[in-house]
A and B are shown apart, each in its own frame.
Chain A
Amino acid sequence: MPGSNRLAVLMLAAGVAAACGSERGRDAASADAGVDAATRRAVVEGVAARVQASYVFRDRAAVIARAIRARARRGDYDGVTSARALADSLTAHLQAAGRDRHLRVRYSHDILPAQPWRRSATTGADSLRARGRRANFGFGRPRRLLGDIAYLEIHDFGFEPQWAEETVADVLTRLADAPALIIDLRRNGGGSPRMAAFVTSYFLGPDSIHLSTLYWRGNRVERVYTRPSVPGRRYGPDRPVYVLTSHATFSAAEGFAYGLQALGRAVIVGDTTGGGAHAGGLHRVTDHFGVWVPGARAVNPITKRNWERIGVRPDVAVPEREALGVAHALALRQVLAQEPDAERRRRLERAILEVERR
């Protein structure tokens, strides 16, 4: 069921729903609701139980659940009458106890389906596809900067590849001939590891490269590979790629950067990222409350580690608001180093002066 795919699959896109009905930004504006004592109890206990049952690390799961239940017994939630305040305070407590920024409680204005797979396949797919189209599947408009350096912002990886293939192909094809590329992930809070792998495929050769292994708590192991063939034109493995990061870069977006860094395929420019390497999904707790629980940890097969809590360390550490300028200059210098034509070299040198002056 497409809805459940969105529910279950993602590495969390910051602040957003994998659940039906909500989009980034709309969440902030959605109506609050009151909660009575019975709902509060059901939500708090439901959250604790779900985390205990599903959190990726069994022993820590028990610790987190205990912490929430202890707070409940102390009456910490008794005065909370707003649904969003309940969600926010539970989130804060979960993250404090688990030190895992993926743990989140969500209040949903729309009812969360009890069994996601029962929803009609058509209506779910249509609405997800429609939402994806409105958001251009998380992709900004590709641009050229001074010196013909290509620039692309990817806002989020929150859509599965099968709906986004045409859009991704279109965007990447337009960048395919650029001498260098800057990918901006400074506001990307994550999404699907499969989408990140699909996009990564464009920057490598026609191989299936093992990018990541997801270790689920049920002892299940899921491996994520790049695709040997991609629609549209491939950017390829040879020309420079710079990835811009900030502290808000999170989850699957960090995975994207980390993977390219481990392969030596991209230079990471900006701030250390948020530090979330756990995949999971939103679990319904009550009709209007869900808890996003990390059920798996991602491990990179090259480094044999991940970026949980520590984040991706940039190759060029600069404050994030300076990252674009710095990357642009680096890209120009890299292109200059390989440019034989004298006239083009002069133009690049002028561009470098211009960019560095800013």
Chain B
Amino acid sequence: MIRFVPPAAVVLVLALTARAPAQQPPPGPDMTLDAPTRRAVIDGVIARLNEAYVFPDTARAMERAIRARQGRHEYDGLTSARAFAESLTAHLQAVSRDRHLRVRYSAEPLPESRPDQGPGPAEEARARAFGRRVNYGIERAERLTGNVGYLEVRSFGFEPEWAEATVGAAMTVLANTDALIIDLRRNGGGSPAYVALISSYLFGPDSVHLNSLYWRPEDRTDAFYTRVDVPGTRYGPDKPVYVLTSRRTFSGAEEFAYNLQTRKRAVIVGDTTGGGAHPGGMRRVTEHFGVWVPSGRAINPITGTNWERVGVRPDLAAPADSALRVAQLAALRDLLQRADTAERGRLEDALREIEGPRPP
């Protein structure tokens, strides 16, 4: 499940559990549609939703809504493939309010999903190469003033086994900081197993149940836990953690924030997040159309619910572009409160550095 899909790879590649479709690769040149194609797409989308959409009642409601529009000839004038995909998406989201649910047009033909085959070694190699190029989503790890650590994770969209050495190195670099800011403002989601891996560093040596995913087509629940053994240095359960969010923070990234918030392990700073708690995957409908079907839903073991539609509510609300500063100040103030006299000077200096000069 790749957050940023490599150019030649098809959307069905590497279907991990959770994907965020918010940033799909460009569809390619537009195409003209005829009536039989439109009908086939509508029939196929409805079939996929009935098979797999996480709420069967809503799937039926979407079916009724689309058929009604079809009956009113609302799609007849849509000869642009892109416009058709956008229109269907809007209509489906109007009923479901599910921002994960999208119809996608692709100029490049989508491969038949051959259950026997799945993604092959060439595609895996491409995905790994892509992962390496983007450092498996670990965008930045650095120290900020006052010995506060900063980690930007741009995506959770990789197999954790590929990323673990990189994550371990980043966390080791940050291990000596007194507080940690994790920036997810540009993170659109990814693999819950990768979310669990990074979360593992923030807890102690007992495995913690972070989240469950219920898959409707299989009637199956997967639970995600922290790992006890992690490469590199564990950050530990005691030092303050702040997670930065924006409206773009979506899906797996929201899960990360929500897991930590429900366990009171982190303070969430920024905007309310996007509100997508339904993992799923892209399913091919026709040669050039696919539909991203949310087929599961997250269930937090503490709240019994999730952040679908409402998003994760920040503990410290702030416009996203000022969230880093707000978090830094909060972290330094928190550290100052517990600091002994020897430390106070240094922390006060750091605070002044960020706050800027006082007005006279």
Contacts and interface: CB of A to CB of B under 8 A. Distances in A.
Given A1-B223, A228-B161, A117 B295 contact: no
B299 interface: yes
Contact of B217 (A118, A208, A218): A218
Contacts of B348: none
Given A117-B304, A215-B115, A220-B281, A165 B227 contact: yes
B212 interface: yes
Given A8-B221, A230-B229, A219 B212 contact: no
A1 B301 contact: yes
Contact of A223 (B14, B207, B301, B304): B14
Contacts of B161: 208, 225-228
B189 to A, nearest CB: 16
A226 B164 CA distance: 11
Q: Most B CB atoms within 10 A — which of A118, A208, A301?
A: A208
Contacts of A304: 116
A135 interface: no
Contact of B15 (A7, A163, A220, A281): A220
A263 to B, nearest CB: 14
Nearest to A161: B227
Interface in B158-178: 159, 161-162, 164-165, 168
Interface string B207-230: 101001011111111110111110
B221 A229 contact: no
A162 interface: yes
B15 A117 contact: no
B62 interface: no
B108 interface: no
A32 interface: no
A121 interface: yes
Interface string A154-192: 000000111101100100000000000000000000000
Nearest to B163: A208
A335 to B, nearest CB: 30
A4 interface: yes
Interface string A23-54: 00000000000000000000000000010011
Given A208-B159, A221-B15, A229-B231, A213 B222 contact: no
B118 interface: yes
A216 B164 contact: no
A4 B229 CA distance: 23
B165 A121 contact: no
Contacts of A116: 221
Contact of A121 (B14, B16, B209): B209
B36 interface: no
B285 interface: no
A226 B161 CA distance: 7
A194 B333 CA distance: 43
Interface string B79-99: 000000000000000000000
Contacts of B219: 50, 53-54, 283
B24 interface: no
B123 to A, nearest CB: 11
Contacts of B216: 218
B209 A2 contact: yes
Contact of B295 (A165, A210, A220, A227): A220
B104 interface: no
A157 to B, nearest CB: 16
B interface residue count range (under 10 / 10 to 19 / 20 to 34 / 35 or more): 35 or more
Contacts of A295: 218, 220
A217 interface: yes
Interface in A192-221: 208, 210, 213, 215-221
B5 to A, nearest CB: 15
Contacts of B209: 1-2, 121, 125
A314 to B, nearest CB: 26
A62 B165 CA distance: 46
B283 interface: yes
Contacts of B299: 1, 117
A217 B124 contact: no
A282 B226 CA distance: 24
Contact of A4 (B115, B159, B223, B281): B223
Contact of B221 (A4, A217, A222, A225): A4
B343 to A, nearest CB: 34
B227 A162 contact: yes
A146 B165 CA distance: 39
B18 to A, nearest CB: 11
Contacts of A230: 229
B295 A162 contact: no
Interface string B102-121: 00000000000101101101
Given A54-B219, A165-B227, A295-B218, A221 B118 contact: yes
B118 A215 contact: yes
A166 B295 CA distance: 35
B260 interface: no
A225 B14 CA distance: 13
Given A5-B221, A121-B301, A217-B217, A162 B15 contact: no
A291 B225 CA distance: 26
Nearest to B168: A229
Given A121-B301, A301-B121, 14 more contacts: A1-B301, A4-B212, A117-B214, A118-B304, A125-B207, A162-B228, A165-B227, A218-B216, A218-B217, A219-B52, A223-B159, A225-B161, A231-B229, A299-B118
For the complex of A and B, the 4 pairs showing the least CB-CB separation, nearest first, are: A218-B217, A208-B161, A5-B223, A231-B229
5 contacts: A5-B222, A161-B227, A163-B228, A218-B51, A229-B165
